[in-house]
Chains A and B, each alone.
Chain A
Amino acid sequence: MDFRLSEEALMLAETVERMMWETCSLANLRALVLSGEPYDRGRWGQIIALGLPGMLAPVEAGGSGLDELAGVLVAEACGRVALPEPLIEHAGVAIPLLAAAKPDADVLTAAVQGEAQLAIGHPANPFVANADTAEAILLPHGDEVHLVPSSAVELRRHESFDEFRRLFAVSWNPGAATRIADASLGRRLWAKALERGALLAAGQALGLAKGAIDLAVDYAKVREQFGRPIGTNQAVKHILADQQVHLSFARPVVLAAAADFAAGDNVSLARVSHAKLAACAAAESASRAAVQVLGAIGMTAEAGAHFYVKRALALSAAWGTKAFHREQVAERVFEAQIGPANTFPRGGAAA
């Protein structure tokens, strides 16, 4: 039993964090909003250079074959800067689904290399995010999985409050040519994709919480009122300390859920749901706290707090609502073994 992250995992996290830090500042985000471009091609190039689009793809498909724990650490780094590019849905959810359903799909190679983006229309989400820049979209027909080229869909935009989540309703015609998984396989794949989406949303939410706390702390150190930094006031300090507490008790849950993801039983499902609930609650709370600590400027489009507020809200409803995830935890709590000797029931701690 060892809860520490490996050297490699820590190194990966540090590399990705540094790249995000250098390419995705608040000024970069604002410039992107003003440019009207869907995403920043330069930054996507850096993401490709680090091999991130193929992080979870099998080695046979040209990917890095990393596990969900690595995925969560990358997601955390993305959340920390409120990354606009759809790296996580592309690399974390769509590619693993496609690789499982149709490992020889042409577009898989391009997707793994980051040359083509994939979007995913999961039944749990009413719209398809970032469908306009995707080369192909994974779509459900009943429980079947279809891989539909962008040339064969019609998109209708639905404005999201998050300027970097471009949401679309997709019209298309299912047929044998687009089907890549039948209903029985599809049911399993969609379920797995939902779990992955939820886990990686939790990872991003950890980053959002951290980013929002950092933003507020930096501001509280320099903004002066009554002749001293506002951060010297206990009322301000304690708001931020509470956010740190929320974050500290969400992160180990997310890490444990990631480390245990492969098991796929009700214990691991409940932990993914717990991770999503706790991390999204921490992100929502921290982003609201950031607005409060920034004061009026926190309400503007100019300061960064709104990016965190919006993404936290969007992620907390995407990939399974709170009610859905709470129910998934409830099932474990009311139906399975609980109690002190069941922290890791599969790790040799029989009831």
Chain B
Amino acid sequence: MKLEYTPAQQALRAEARAWLEAHAPTTALSSFDLTREGFEAHRQWERTLDSGRWGMVTWPAEYGGRGLCLIEWLIFEEEYYRADAPVRVNQNGIFLLGPTLMEFGTPEQKARFLPAMARGDEIWAQAWSEPQAGSDLAAVSSTVVQDGDDYVLNGQKIWSSRAVFADWAFGLFRAPGSARHQGLSLILFPLTAPGVKVRPIERMDGEKVFAEIFLDEVRVPAFNRLGEEGQGWEVCMSTAGFERGLMLRSPARYQQAAQRLVKLFKARGCDLGQGMRDAVVQHWMDADAYALSVYEMASRLDAGGKIGPESSTNKIFWSELDIGLQRTGLEILGPLAELAAHQDTGLGGWLDDYLFSLAGPIYAGSNEIQRNIISERVLGLPRR
């Protein structure tokens, strides 16, 4: 165990810090889930990131990355959140599909999709869930049928984040009549393809965060299948490991939130009492514990290990940490917390962040499902 950065890692941090200080927008961009303008402003920022080769630092240089290890990715993420840079509009691409393409993609697929992803030219949405397939993802019924050199897609997807304005989606489809985990394939399709209809769904705070996707005889080349035919479940579970355990929610996000909470407490904390002070300290500790745990996981993966079912413990921990932390922020604000938190109130978005945190235990596989996974696959309790 060696808890010191190498000189090269320190240099990377310094380089990232200097670049972000020079380039990160100084005023917040408008939401990418509300208007096309906001979305495009975030795409522009992705392009700027790519111009500095910061799009996805773990990818090989030929795909627009820097060939760095996961520890170095964590360093970049720390600097990214330290700079308060915009939320990554392409997070479902770079953090979920990207690693999956690395693992299952052919060289031709990597060359086709990764650089465009790093440049922000193609922003991705995840199209797995269906009205009848939520927690039970293996119940998806949207179909894929081969027709010559093409695949034809039919069916309906739902809750697809960013799909309202995104360019592409990676979807889970089954061969008609196939049973549950068999016959599934992961297919990449443009959201602009003929036969695709996207209907925005408004979230409780009014943002058009996710969408329904209707597919009617949508034709894509067979080239767009990631992994083998029938291997879709395995491919998705690999993606899910990154989603739950590592990339989707990097620790820096919560360390930054904990720092904001400490700042808020210091600014308003004079008569809040010991209980509130303890809560603030506890959230800071939890964010720190999450960071240490991810450093441990990243060290293991950098040495050739694989993400296993323990990613489910991460998912539970970060989602609960987030709710608790945001709730304490609201507590500190007291009755002011109720005010719809837009920039001009100066309340710093605590209400927005709290409301969004409520989704944490649902998306990326609900926390109940994660507890099932931990108890059965980590602890070895009987399924039934």
9-residue interface stretch from B106-114, B153-161, B201-209, B370-378? B370-378
Give Cα A347 to B4, complex, Å. 4
Is B132 positioned at the interface, with any CB of A under 8 Å from its CB?
A: no
Within A209-252, which residues are at the interface with B (CB < 8 Å)?
Answer: 213, 217, 220-221, 228-229, 231-232, 234, 236-238, 240-242, 244-245, 248-250, 252
- Cβ of B79 within 8 Å of any chain A Cβ, yes or no, is yes
- Which secondary structure characterizes the binding site on chain A? helix
A334 touches B266 (CB 8 A): yes
Residue with the greatest number of chain B CB neighbours at <10 A, chosen from A4, A259, A274, A340 = A340
Q: Is the CB of B5 within 8 A of A348?
A: yes
Give the contacts of A158-214 with B (CB-CB under 8 A): 213
Within 8 A of B (CB), among A240-287: 240-242, 244-245, 248-250, 252-253, 255-256, 259-260, 274, 277-278
Are B289 and A340 in contact, with the CB atoms below 8 A?
Answer: no
Q: Interface code B282-310, partner A: CB below 8 Å = 1, 0 otherwise?
A: 00111011111101101110010000001
Interface flags for B341-384 (1: CB within 8 Å of A; 0: not) read 00000000000000000000000000010111011101111111
Q: A237-B372, A338-B284 are in contact. Are A4 and B4 (CB under 8 A)?
A: no
How many angstroms from the CA of A220 to the CA of B374 in the assembled complex?
15
Q: A274 to B289, Cβ gap below 8 A? A: yes
Q: Is B22's beta carbon under 8 Å from chain A?
A: no
B282 to chain A, nearest CB (A): 8
Contact across chains for B374 and A241 when beta carbons are under 8 A apart: yes
Q: Confirm or deny: B179 has a beta carbon within 8 angstroms of a beta carbon on chain A.
A: no
Tell me which residues across on chain B come within 8 A of A213, comparing CB atoms. 379
Q: How far is the CB of B319 from chain A (nearest CB, A)?
A: 11
**Chain B interfacial residues counted at CB < 8 A:** 63
Name B3's contact: one of A231, A234, A249, A260 (CB within 8 Å).
A260
Q: Are B5 and A249 in contact, CB atoms less than 8 angstroms apart?
A: no
Given A245-B317, A252-B295, A277-B285: A232 touches B255 (CB 8 Å cut-off): no
From A31-39, A301-309, A325-333, give the one contacting chain B: A325-333
- Say yes or no: is A42 at the interface (Cβ < 8 Å to chain B): no
Q: Are A245 and B296 in contact (CB under 8 A)?
A: no
Quick check: B378 and A3 within 8 Å, CB to CB?
A: no
Query: A338–B258 contact, CB under 8 A?
Result: yes
Nearest Cβ distance between residue B260 and chain A, in whole angstroms?
9
In contact, B293 and A220 (Cβ under 8 angstroms): no
B262 close to A (CB within 8 Å): yes
Asked whether any CB of chain A lies closer than 8 Å to the CB of B13, the reply is: yes
Is A66's beta carbon under 8 Å from chain B?
no
A237 and B376 in contact (CB under 8 A), knowing A256-B292, A274-B289, A278-B289? Answer: yes
Interfacial chain B residues near A236, Cβ < 8 Å: 381
With contact pairs A250-B289, A349-B5 given, residues A343 and B376 touching in the complex (Cβ less than 8 Å): no
Indicate if B138 sits at the interface (CB-CB under 8 A): no
A59 in contact (CB, < 8 A): no
Over the window 1-28 of chain B, the binary record of Cβ atoms lying under 8 Å from chain A Cβ atoms (1 yes, 0 no) is 1111111011001000100000000000
- Please determine whether A238 and B295 come into contact, CB atoms closer than 8 angstroms: no
Contact B5 A238 (CB under 8 A): no
| Chain B residues whose C-beta falls within 8 Å of the C-beta of A238 in the assembled complex | 368, 371-372, 375
Contacts of A338 in B (CB 8 A): 255, 258-259, 262, 284
* A6 contact set on B, CB distance < 8 A: 1
CA distance A4 to B297 in the complex (A): 9
- Which residue of chain A lies nearest to B69 when distances are taken between CB atoms in the complex? A1
Q: Is B379 in contact with A241, judged by CB distance below 8 angstroms?
A: yes
Binding site for B on A (CB under 8 A): 1-6, 9, 69, 213, 217, 220-221, 228-229, 231-232, 234, 236-238, 240-242, 244-245, 248-250, 252-253, 255-256, 259-260, 274, 277-278, 326, 329-330, 333-334, 338-344, 346-349
Contacts from B to A (Cβ < 8 Å): 1-7, 9-10, 13, 17, 71, 75, 77-79, 81-82, 251-252, 255-256, 258-259, 262, 266, 277-278, 280-281, 284-286, 288-293, 295-296, 298-300, 303, 310, 313, 316-317, 368, 370-372, 374-376, 378-384
A/B interface sample: 17 pairs, CB < 8 A: A1-B295, A3-B1, A3-B292, A3-B295, A3-B296, A231-B382, A232-B382, A237-B376, A241-B375, A241-B379, A250-B289, A253-B288, A255-B292, A259-B2, A343-B251, A343-B288, A349-B5
